[in-house]
């Protein structure tokens, strides 16, 4: 199960994970449940029908199948399975019974979606082997995931007997077993991380197995810490000059090689000038570049500090953490393979 | 606060500018709805608009449907609940006020039941296990209740501006479908049958005759077996008890739907300047038009800008030049840095490097290169302490190696930003070409997250402060 805050990359990560798990000739099923055709978009194919189809071949010849689960169709399947309704099923569709059942009946939609996924998990071929080595679901976002996965508990309580009761309990057994893992995708930003922390707590208290945190869209560091310290220091010097306050670390800063803001600035102007970016006299082009460049550096430092704090919060969860870098031009197909290789290299298969 | 980034609206002369303050100040504007794809900043924008509206003298209320606690947090409140709470410290001077609330589906549903049924009936409904589960908010209920709440807030007439945030993910416009879905569901014969055989007459009953009663009883039989007889009985009791209220639901949902179409409503589509987000934004724009909902404009959130007048290519060339000819850092630090930076340097061939170029595609992902590990950076900083000469800017030959590295790093950082910026502008222009009629407001990304009132004020200011253009 792959969840996360909206827009953090659930669909992308779920697809990359399905590819990674299809390593070495294995077969995986990638499932989506929100009717948005996100998988088809990602793999640049036509809208997926309610049917499992091969959508990609992984490194080493493994196969990824995909399925967009449609609750209405799944309900008809169930009725068919249990009661052989045949054309009566279609009639029910017409009078709105199916609509009713999937729209308003308590959680039935979610029951059907999780039920279908569990069915795929348990399915075996004639020789008794599992049809899929892994099923990866592009699940609803963090805010809804616990309710979504827990719905079968609720339904088992409501429908106290009968096949639905049994079915709900069977699904819950799979979802709470060690065979299931809920992975949370996040960015290194406050709110997604906050949601991840809250989500992990909720999942844990509902007895649902939490797998890992996937930190998505991380960026390579472009400035080294020493330089950043200097840039930050410059901020400190500037702030101190402006407000008369003495920021923490100033004393130490004063002894650092580039401590004096003005000196650092002149040095930078000189360096820029040396590589042909204009004169380094005060007011020269190189000199004028320094201030805005440093400002960008400071913003960057601020961002990095924030990311570091978020990372620390994630680490505190005590879960395995995977990191996926920001693809330069959004998540296209080539990028997806790169992400899956990245997941594999980081040991996601273990 | 750092200086305002300018995002240079190159090539956008013909696109109308979204006049946010104009909208906020217009007393005719009564409802604003922020919609858009996941994570683009809907909640942030809604909260920022609320703060700005209040500080410009309006009595505003922000309604979030988002189940997470984010809105509350960003406004310095720990919790929001189903009744609007005043947000302290906002709008006082201007005579405005800001309230905020978070939709609690169950509470909203309960309140409706309590308001529209006599005591005994209300209790029967509230205690029904089917109701308890339905109102706890499975797919679908949320949208009905959002419509209800919006209608209620509007009817109370305590606020002159209601700002609505919409839920993450799924189809964010689901709530537009709520009245129609509810209507077709309530008009459906199925609900009639459930409410009791007596009601199965009339038009609905006729349809059943066509289907054949056999099919129907087979279905109820099937449902009974499937769900257990108890649940179906609960459902029937519930529907019977709710029967008189259902009509009211529909009437009110329809009324709210029309309210959304009215001229006093302004939809804002929020998007990030990224390909997929803008594709979804285009979908929202089209969907709103199809439903005849008044679109005020597009908020392009988290755009980047730069005040450094230097192209990406020149910055990169200069950075490489500095690193090659720079004063030697005897530790591996210098090599490390270059390795990390170079992974996204398109090899220059003289042509202006487009971000769409094949090289740009290959740039990432290499964030896990060993050079990026904390240890590598540790090397660098310990090298500094080990005695990089103190720079003396007066002397031509003594830029410290550290200064050279810093200059190179800043240049690389700038080149990266210029590439991001160029990509954002291209994406934006593609959208504008597709929908030239949609007014746009650009909001520069703050370096940090938005999590408090000053942050929301900064976003509000950026929303309002658009480069001069045709006011939309
Ligand atoms: N590592 C990455 N590098 C660059 N772009 C990425 C990366 N991961 C995801 N994206 C892009 O970010 C956007 C959001 O990703 P995706 O659709 O997977 O998120 P989601 O969480 O499924 O969103 P939603 O909440 O709308 O379902 C897409 O445009 C995707 O291509
Ligand atoms: N202009 C901005 N500059 C910097 N950060 C921003 C900006 N706008 C939004 N953010 C940040 O982006 C993140 C997502 O914003 P927000 O939660 O408002 O998005 P959303 O569209 O409501 O998401 P969801 O779809 O999950 O409800 C938050 O961490 C927020 O602080
Ligand atoms: Mg998705
Ligand atoms: Mg939100």
**B321 assigned to some structural domain:** yes
Q: Are the beta carbons of A335 and B400 separated by less than 8 Å?
A: no
Residue A39 — pLDDT band, cuts 50, 70, 90? very high
Residue A50 has pLDDT above 80, yes or no: yes
Q: Does A73 touch chain B (CB under 8 A)?
A: no
Q: What is the pLDDT of residue A218?
A: 94
- Given B133, B138, B380, which is nearest A225 (Cβ)? B380
What's the pLDDT at B241? 67
Q: What are residue B167's phi and psi, to 5 degrees?
A: -70, 155
B230: left (phi over 0), alpha (psi -120 to 50) or beta: alpha
Percent of chain A with pLDDT over 90: 46
* pLDDT recorded at residue A88: 60
In a domain, B328, yes or no: yes
Calculate mean pLDDT across residues A128-137.
95
Evaluate whether B301 touches B271 at the Cβ level (below 8 Å). yes
Cβ of A190 under 8 Å from any chain B Cβ? yes
A294·B410 Cβ contact <8 A = yes
Residue of chain B whose alpha carbon sits nearest to that of A189: B449
Query: Which residues form the pocket of ligand 1, taking CB atoms under 6 Å from any ligand atom?
Result: A 4, 6-12, 38, 141, 216-217, 324, 326-327, 330-331, 339; B 37-38, 169, 274, 276
Of A225 and A325, the one with more pLDDT: A325
pLDDT tens for B77-130 read 777 788 898 998 898 788 899 999 988 878 888 888 888 888 888 888 888 776
- The domain A2-219+326-345 belongs to what CATH superfamily? P-loop containing nucleotide triphosphate hydrolases (3.40.50.300)
Identify the residue with better confidence: B247 or B103: B103
In a domain, B13, yes or no: no
**Residue B442 near ligand 2, beta carbon < 6 Å:** no
pLDDT at residue A164 tops 50: yes
B57 within domain boundaries: no
pLDDT at B243 over 60: yes
B433 vs B221, residue with greater confidence: B433
Please indicate whether residue A154 or residue B433 has the higher confidence score (pLDDT): B433
pTM: 0.76
Query: Above pLDDT 70, what percent of chain A?
Result: 77
Please give the residue that has the higher pLDDT: either B53 or B148: B53
Distance (Å) from the alpha carbon of A133 to chain B's nearest alpha carbon: 27
Q: Between A202 and B373, whose confidence is greater? A: A202
Among A285-299, B214-228, B238-252, the least confident range: B214-228
Q: Residue A55: pLDDT above 60?
A: yes
pLDDT digits (tens, 9 = 90+) for A180-199: 999 999 999 988 999 999 99
Query: Considering only A43-52, B81-90, B121-130, B167-176, which range has the smallest mean pLDDT?
Result: B167-176
Per-residue pLDDT, A338: 94
Domain ranges of chain A: 2-219+326-345, 225-304
Average of per-residue pLDDT across B325-347: 39
pLDDT at B431: 92
Q: Which of A208, A215, A144, A211 is nearest to A185 (CA)?
A: A215
Find the range with the poorest average confidence among A116-125, B210-219, B338-347.
B338-347
pLDDT of B29 strictly over 80: yes
Within-domain flag for B170: no
Contact between A223 and B68 using a beta-carbon 8 Å cutoff: no
Report the pLDDT value the prediction gives residue B336, as an integer from 0 to 100.
Answer: 37
Dihedral sign for Cα atoms in the order A298, A301, A305, A307: positive
Amino acid A34: pLDDT: 80
| Amino acid A216: pLDDT | 97
Q: Could you tell me the distance, in angstroms and rounded to a whole number, from the CA of residue A216 to the centre of ligand 1?
A: 9
When the pLDDT of each residue in chain B is averaged and rounded to a whole number, the result is: 73
| Of A335 and B189, the one with more pLDDT | A335
For ligand 2, say whether the CB of B450 is within 6 Å of any of its atoms: yes
Of B182, B206, B181, which is closest to residue B193 (Cα–Cα)? B206
Interface of A with B in 217-276 (CB under 8 A): 218-227, 229-231, 256-258, 263-264, 266-272, 274-276
Residue A101 CB-half CA count within 13 A: 28
Residues B94 and A338: their CA atoms lie apart, in Å, by 54
Contact A195, B68 (CB under 8 A): yes
Q: How far is the CA of B302 from the centre of ligand 3 (A)?
A: 20
Pocket test for ligand 2, best of B44, B50, B51, B454 (most atoms within 8 A of CB): B44
Rg (CA), chain B: 29
Residue B194 within any structural domain of the chain: no
Q: How far apart are CA B167 and CA A77, in angstroms?
A: 30
Res. A350 pLDDT band, cuts 50 70 90: confident
Domain count, chain B: 1
What 8-state DSSP symbol labels residue B445? P
Ligand 1, atom 31, lies closest to the CA of: A331
Predicted pLDDT at B145: 80
Q: How confident is the model at residue A86 (pLDDT cuts 50, 70, 90)?
A: low
Q: How confident is the model at residue B356 (pLDDT cuts 50, 70, 90)?
A: very low
Q: How confident is the model at residue A256 (pLDDT cuts 50, 70, 90)?
A: very low
DSSP letter for B197, please. Answer: G
Measured at the alpha carbon of residue B177, what is the angle toward residues B299 and B295, in degrees to the nearest 5? 25
Residue B56 lies in a domain: no
In terms of DSSP bridges, do strands A27-32 and A182-186 run parallel, antiparallel, or are they unpaired? unpaired
The Cα B293–Cα A113 span in angstroms is 32
Higher pLDDT, B297 or A96: B297
Distance from B204 to chain A by nearest Cα, in Å?
9
pLDDT band at B1 (very low <50, low <70, confident <90, very high): very low
Give a yes or no: residue B112 inside a domain.
no
User: Is residue B60 a contact partner of residue B85, using CB atoms and an 8 Å limit?
Assistant: no
Angstrom CA distances, B325 to A271, B82, B194, B371, stand at 11, 64, 83, 21
pLDDT per position as a tens digit, A273-314: 999 998 888 889 999 999 999 889 888 888 888 999 999 999
The residue that leads in pLDDT, B325 or B209, is B325
- Cβ–Cβ below 8 Å for B340 and A105: no
Domain that holds residue B332: 312-423
Mean pLDDT on B389-395? 39
pLDDT exceeds cutoff 50 at B40 = yes
3-state SS of chain A?
CEEECCCCCHHHHHHHHHHHHCCCCCEEEEEECCCCCHHHHHCCCCCCCCCCEEEEECHHHCEEEEEECCHHHHHHHHHHHHHCCCHHHHHHHHHCHHHHHHHCCCCHHHHHHHHHHHHHHHCECCCCCECCCEEEEECCCHHHHHHHHHHHHHHHHHCCCHHHHHHHHHHHHHHHCCCCCEEEEECCCHHHHHHHHHHHHHHHHCCCCEEEEEEEEECCCCCCHHHHHHHHHHHHHHHHHHHCCCCCCHHHHHHCCCCCHHHHHHHHHHHHHHCCCCCCCCCCHHHHHHHHHHHHHHHHHHHHHHHHHHHHHHHCCCCCEEEEECCCCCCCHHHHHHHHHHHHHCCCCC
- Cβ distance A328 to B355 less than 8 Å, yes or no, reads yes
What is the pLDDT averaged over residues B208-236?
57
pLDDT at B386: 33
């Amino acid at each position: 199960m792959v969840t996360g805050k909206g827009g953090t990359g659930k669909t992308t990560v779920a697809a990359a994970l399905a590819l990674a798990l299809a390593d070495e000739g294995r077969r995986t099923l990638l499932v989506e449940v929100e009717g948005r055709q996100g998988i088809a978009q990602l793999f640049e194919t036509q809208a997926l029908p309610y049917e499992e189809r091969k959508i990609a071949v992984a490194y080493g010849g493994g196969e990824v199948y995909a399925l967009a689960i449609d609750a209405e169709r799944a309900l008809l399947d169930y009725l068919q399975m249990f009661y052989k309704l045949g054309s009566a099923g279609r009639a029910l569709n017409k009078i709105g019974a199916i609509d009713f059942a999937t729209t308003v009946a308590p959680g039935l939609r979610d029951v059907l979606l999780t039920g279908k996924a569990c069915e795929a998990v348990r399915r075996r071929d004639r020789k008794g082997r599992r049809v899929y080595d892994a099923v990866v679901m592009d699940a609803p976002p963090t805010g809804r995931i616990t309710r979504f996965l827990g719905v079968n508990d609720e339904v088992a309580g409501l429908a106290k007997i009968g096949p639905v009761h049994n079915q709900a309990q069977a699904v819950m057994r799979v979802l709470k077993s060690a065979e299931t893992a809920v992975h949370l995708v996040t960015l290194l930003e406050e709110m997604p991380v906050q949601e991840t922390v809250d989500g992990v707590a909720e999942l844990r208290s509902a007895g649902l197995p939490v797998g890992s945190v996937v930190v998505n869209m991380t960026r390579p560091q472009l400035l080294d810490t020493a330089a950043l310290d200097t840039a930050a220091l410059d901020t400190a010097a500037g702030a101190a000059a402006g407000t008369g306050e003495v920021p923490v670390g100033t004393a130490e800063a004063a002894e650092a090689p580039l401590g004096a803001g003005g000196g650092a600035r002149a040095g930078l102007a000189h360096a820029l000038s040396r590589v042909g970016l204009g004169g380094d006299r005060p007011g020269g082009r190189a000199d004028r570049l320094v201030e805005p460049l440093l400002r960008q550096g400071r913003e960057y430092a601020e961002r990095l500090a924030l990311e570091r704090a978020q990372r620390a919060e994630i680490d505190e969860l005590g879960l395995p953490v995977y990191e996926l870098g920001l693809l330069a031009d959004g998540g296209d197909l080539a990028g997806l393979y790169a992400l899956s290789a990245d997941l594999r290299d980081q040991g996601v298969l273990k | 606060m750092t200086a305002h980034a300018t995002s240079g609206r190159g090539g956008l002369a013909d696109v109308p500018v979204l006049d946010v303050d104009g909208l906020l100040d217009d007393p005719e504007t009564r409802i604003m709805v922020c919609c858009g794809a996941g994570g683009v900043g809907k909640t942030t924008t809604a909260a920022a608009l609320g703060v700005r509206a209040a500080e410009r003298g309006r009595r505003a209320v922000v309604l979030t449907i988002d189940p997470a606690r984010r809105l509350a947090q960003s406004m310095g409140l720990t919790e929001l609940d189903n009744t609007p709470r005043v947000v302290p410290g906002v709008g006082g001077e201007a005579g405005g006020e800001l309230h905020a609330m978070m939709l609690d589906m169950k509470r909203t549903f309960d309140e409706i039941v309590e308001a529209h049924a006599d005591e005994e009936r209300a209790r029967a409904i509230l205690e029904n296990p089917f109701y308890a589960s339905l109102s706890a908010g499975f797919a679908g209920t949320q949208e009905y209740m959002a419509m209800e709440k919006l209608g209620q807030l509007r009817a109370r007439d305590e606020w002159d501006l209601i700002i609505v945030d919409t839920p993450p993910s799924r189809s964010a416009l689901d709530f537009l479908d709520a009245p129609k879905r509810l209507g077709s569901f309530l008009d459906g014969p199925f609900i009639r049958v459930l409410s009791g055989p007596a009601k199965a007459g009339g038009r609905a009953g006729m349809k059943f005759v066509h289907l054949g009663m056999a099919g129907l009883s087979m279905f109820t039989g099937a449902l009974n077996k499937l769900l257990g007889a108890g649940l179906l009985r609960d459902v029937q009791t519930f529907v019977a008890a709710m029967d008189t209220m259902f009509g009211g639901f529909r009437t009110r949902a329809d009324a709210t739907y029309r309210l959304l179409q009215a001229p006093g409503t302004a939809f804002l589509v929020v998007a990030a300047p990224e390909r997929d987000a803008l594709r979804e934004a285009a979908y929202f724009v089209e969907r709103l038009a199809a439903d005849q909902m008044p679109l005020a404009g597009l908020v392009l959130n988290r755009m980047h800008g730069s005040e450094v007048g230097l192209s990406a290519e020149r910055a990169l060339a200069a950075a490489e030049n500095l690193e090659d000819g720079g004063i030697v850092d005897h530790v591996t630090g210098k090599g490390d840095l270059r390795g990390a930076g170079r992974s996204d340097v398109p090899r220059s061939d003289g042509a202006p490097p487009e971000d769409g170029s094949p090289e740009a595609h290959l740039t990432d992902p290499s964030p896990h290169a060993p050079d990026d590990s904390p240890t590598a950076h540790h090397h660098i900083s310990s090298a500094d302490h080990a005695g990089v000469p103190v720079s003396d800017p007066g002397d031509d030959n003594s830029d410290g190696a550290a200064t050279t590295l810093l200059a190179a790093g800043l240049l690389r950082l700038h080149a990266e930003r210029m590439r991001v910026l160029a990509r954002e502008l291209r994406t934006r222009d593609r959208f504008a070409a597709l929908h030239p009629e949609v007014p746009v407001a650009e909001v520069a990304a703050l370096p940090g997250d938005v999590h408090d009132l000053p942050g929301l004020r900064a976003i509000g200011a950026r929303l309002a402060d658009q480069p001069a253009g045709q006011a939309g």
